[in-house]
Chains A and B, each alone.
Chain A
Amino acid sequence: MREITSHRPGKILIGILAISAVCYVFVIPFILQGREILLFGWMPLAVAFWNIQTLLWAIAFWIYTSKHWPYR
């Protein structure tokens, strides 16, 4: 963990992960309640949020581990 927290890109990654994880667990379940919105006319909001979160995490890890990770 020290190898990640001790430089700026690592701190940014941890910040993104922490904020998005908190949103995922404690905010999105409340936002979703009672909203029957279908993205593109067919994708339920829960699925859309899941896709956005997973892609965000994939991009964040991709950039960090390929450019800044000390063990890359």
Chain B
Amino acid sequence: MIWLVVILGFLLVLISAYGYKLSSKTAADYLLAGRKIGTFVMFFYVYFAISSAWTFYGFPGTIYNTGPGFMLFFTFVSFAFLYIFLGPKLWAGGRKYGYLSPLQYLGERYQSTGLRVLLGVSLVLFLFPYLGLQAVGIGAGMKAAAGLPFWFGALYMCVIMIFICLIGGTRAVAWLNVLLGLIFTITFFGFLFWIMFKTGNTSLSDMAAHVQQARPGFLSVPGSANAWTPGNLVGLAMAGMTVLAWPHVVIGTMQAKSLVVVRKTIIYMLLFSVVFCNIAAIWGYLIAPILVPGLKGKAADAIVQIAITQYLPQWASAATLLAVLAAAISTVATQLMVAGIFVSRDIIFAASPNVSDKKLILWSRIGMIIAAVGSYALAMARPAELGLLLSNVASPGFALWLPPLIGGIMWKRGTRHGAIWGLLTGVLWLIVGSFFYKPLLMGMHPIIVPLAIDAILYVGISLVTAPVSKEVQSKFFDEIEDFLLEHTARERAEAAAERGEPMVSPVPSATE
């Protein structure tokens, strides 16, 4: 089995090397795939950036522990909000002004290098738990499937990731996500149906009745462990609503070839999520409680792997491990690239507008190595269950840049003072409340109080401080909107010309 894993890793590095050969070696090409990702690749790139080892292990494991109420965390509509409401402006900022990251956009919009650095540091900081839990997933998976030490699996993943990202860049990562996403989906779906037939559990109703009998109250809310009380569930749903702030998803808006790609990607994501999340949930609330009952806490993170190892042939167990590896790599590769972009473009060279592509790429690579090493250290510490590491630490941390992000794109009155003080206070509140003094979170989900304070400070301070100049407002609101309308008109005219149709209305109106 270990050879299969090693071969997959070698194959992925080879594909990355081929991707490097094809790339044009500029910063935009290395970091943003030349802003040329089409719908097919974009769908896999984004969907499997958010579907990780956590989806394979943590999602079913948390449902297994706490009940199906956890499903409310997966609020894909927030991705749609990002791609339809905010995405076009970020996309246009990249095209019109050459920005390489959303933080560069916001730094220029708020006229503040300090804010840009602060955002970069806080987002990279909260990427660590997300990256770390992928390493945890692989470590736990290799241990459950092949009996290999936990540290080996986690280290293997970090080393492979460093090679893929350093060599290939975003274009290679995006195409790898297509391959890895297919491996993940086929295994996750296929083995569910196979194990159902193999164990004679072909009736979902009979399985549900069995689970109800074995674990009374488990299939309802708040669940047999009383985890999803109204307060907890409201917090979870709110946390789900803020997933649009995940930086590796936000940056996707700047990598798309066109707005048609942005639009189609999100529709496909919403539709696919219905199938995908139901399969993951069925593993957690129907299959695993019957086939591997009695697990608790962190042990439940490996329920899918354990069930397949126990009931399917040995090669299926190896294939599952490959699928988890695929899931983790597709996510970590994207996140490492994002961490690299933030470190180079928005932290190290935030105050240098004319830095060379060579320097940007070099520092991006250094940033990726630092992020990979840090995530390995976190994985070894393994402070909590996978599901909680994501929903209680990484997600709330990412959510704290929502006020400056949404305000920066939609609200002319938003100021750098509001953004900086809101963000600083929110981050400190979250860290102190999560790790040192829990009463600060007022017994609610970790996202609620810090985000509320962040948003209130952002709005309040913005209203009493001077906004950016009229020229800057015009650049980021009027000119970007004009650019988008002109671009749309041009694309429509070109499409009509290709079809041989006469041009009826080349200039669309925002009020049509």
Q: Which residues of A contact B (CB under 8 A)?
A: 1-4, 6-7, 17, 20-21, 24-26, 28-30, 32-38, 40-47, 49-51, 53-55, 57-58, 61-62, 64-66, 69-72
| Residue of B71, B85, B263, B274 touching A55 (CB-CB under 8 A) | B274
Please measure, in the bound complex, the distance between the C-alpha atom of A24 and the C-alpha atom of B237, giving whole angstroms.
7
Q: Which of B119-127, B164-172, B218-226, B378-386 contacts A (4 or more CB under 8 A)?
A: B218-226
Q: What are the 7 A-B residue pairs with the smallest beta carbon separation, nearest first? A: A29-B233, A41-B205, A58-B270, A42-B204, A32-B221, A36-B220, A42-B208
Please measure, in the bound complex, the distance between the C-alpha atom of A52 and the C-alpha atom of B488, giving whole angstroms.
32
Please measure, in the bound complex, the distance between the C-alpha atom of A1 and the C-alpha atom of B407, giving whole angstroms.
11
Q: Which of B34-42, B74-82, B463-471 contacts A (4 or more CB under 8 A)?
A: B74-82
Nearest chain-A residue to B232 (Cβ)?
Answer: A29
Nearest chain-B residue to A68 (Cβ)?
Answer: B512
Chain A residues lying within 8 Å of B241, measured Cβ to Cβ, are 21, 24-25
Q: How far is the CB of A32 from chain B (nearest CB, A)?
A: 4
Q: Are A70 and B72 in contact (CB under 8 A)?
A: no
Q: Are A50 and B71 in contact (CB under 8 A)?
A: yes
Nearest chain-A residue to B259 (Cβ)?
Answer: A71
Q: Are B219 and A44 in contact (CB under 8 A)?
A: yes
Q: Are A42 and B69 in contact (CB under 8 A)?
A: no
| Residue of A4, A38, A58, A65 touching B219 (CB-CB under 8 A) | A38
Chain B residues lying within 8 Å of A72, measured Cβ to Cβ, are 259-260, 263, 488
Q: How far is the CB of B478 from chain A (nearest CB, A)?
A: 10
Nearest chain-B residue to A3 (Cβ)?
Answer: B510
Q: How far is the CB of A28 from chain B (nearest CB, A)?
A: 7
| Residue of B72, B228, B266, B278 touching A24 (CB-CB under 8 A) | B72
6 further A-B contacts with Cβ under 8 Å, apart from A34-B222, A44-B68, A69-B263, are: A1-B410, A24-B75, A24-B241, A34-B220, A43-B204, A69-B84
Q: Are A6 and B511 in contact (CB under 8 A)?
A: yes
Please measure, in the bound complex, the distance between the C-alpha atom of A66 and the C-alpha atom of B438, giving whole angstroms.
47
Q: How far is the CB of B150 from chain A (nearest CB, A)?
A: 32
Chain B residues lying within 8 Å of A29, measured Cβ to Cβ, are 72, 221, 228, 230, 233-234, 237
A-B contact count (CB 8 A): 146
SS class, residues of chain B in contact with chain A: helix
Please measure, in the bound complex, the distance between the C-alpha atom of A33 and the C-alpha atom of B238, giving whole angstroms.
17
Nearest chain-A residue to B274 (Cβ)?
Answer: A54
Q: How far is the CB of A72 from chain B (nearest CB, A)?
A: 7
> Chain B, 85-112, contact with A by CB distance < 8 Å: what is the 0/1 string?
1001000000000000000000000000
**A21 in contact with B77 given A29-B233, A50-B277 (CB within 8 Å):** yes
Chain A residues lying within 8 Å of B410, measured Cβ to Cβ, are 1
What are 7 contact pairs spanning A and B, CB under 8 A?
Answer: A17-B81, A42-B207, A46-B71, A58-B270, A58-B271, A65-B84, A72-B260
Chain A residues lying within 8 Å of B234, measured Cβ to Cβ, are 25-26, 29
Question: Which of B72, B81, B278, B487 counts the most chain A CB atoms within 10 A?
Answer: B72
Q: How far is the CB of B254 from chain A (nearest CB, A)?
A: 15
Please measure, in the bound complex, the distance between the C-alpha atom of A55 and the C-alpha atom of B269, giving whole angstroms.
11
Chain A residues lying within 8 Å of B281, measured Cβ to Cβ, are 47
Q: Are B219 and A71 in contact (CB under 8 A)?
A: no
Please measure, in the bound complex, the distance between the C-alpha atom of A37 and the C-alpha atom of B71, giving whole angstroms.
16
Q: How far is the CB of B210 from chain A (nearest CB, A)?
A: 11
Q: Are B77 and A57 in contact (CB under 8 A)?
A: yes
Q: How far is the CB of A8 from chain B (nearest CB, A)?
A: 10
Chain B residues lying within 8 Å of A45, measured Cβ to Cβ, are 220-221
Q: How far is the CB of B508 from chain A (nearest CB, A)?
A: 6
Chain A residues lying within 8 Å of B76, measured Cβ to Cβ, are 54, 57
Q: How far is the CB of B214 from chain A (nearest CB, A)?
A: 14
Nearest chain-A residue to B484 (Cβ)?
Answer: A71
**A71 in contact with B270 given A36-B212, A36-B219, A46-B221 (CB within 8 Å):** no
Q: How far is the CB of A34 from chain B (nearest CB, A)?
A: 7
Q: Are B267 and A58 in contact (CB under 8 A)?
A: yes
Q: Does B300 contact A (CB under 8 A)?
A: no
Please measure, in the bound complex, the distance between the C-alpha atom of A19 and the C-alpha atom of B285, giving whole angstroms.
29
Q: Does B273 contact A (CB under 8 A)?
A: yes
| Residue of A24, A47, A54, A64 touching B270 (CB-CB under 8 A) | A54
Please measure, in the bound complex, the distance between the C-alpha atom of A4 and the C-alpha atom of B86, giving whole angstroms.
11
Q: Are A32 and B69 in contact (CB under 8 A)?
A: yes
Please measure, in the bound complex, the distance between the C-alpha atom of A4 and the C-alpha atom of B266, giving whole angstroms.
17
Nearest chain-A residue to B222 (Cβ)?
Answer: A33
**A57 in contact with B68 given A3-B481, A29-B234, A32-B233 (CB within 8 Å):** no
**A51 in contact with B278 given A28-B237, A46-B72, A70-B512 (CB within 8 Å):** yes
Please measure, in the bound complex, the distance between the C-alpha atom of A40 and the C-alpha atom of B263, giving whole angstroms.
33
Q: Are A54 and B481 in contact (CB under 8 A)?
A: no
Nearest chain-A residue to B233 (Cβ)?
Answer: A29
**A4 in contact with B85 given A42-B207, A47-B281 (CB within 8 Å):** yes
| Residue of A4, A47, A54 touching B77 (CB-CB under 8 A) | A54
Chain B residues lying within 8 Å of A49, measured Cβ to Cβ, are 72
Chain A residues lying within 8 Å of B75, measured Cβ to Cβ, are 24
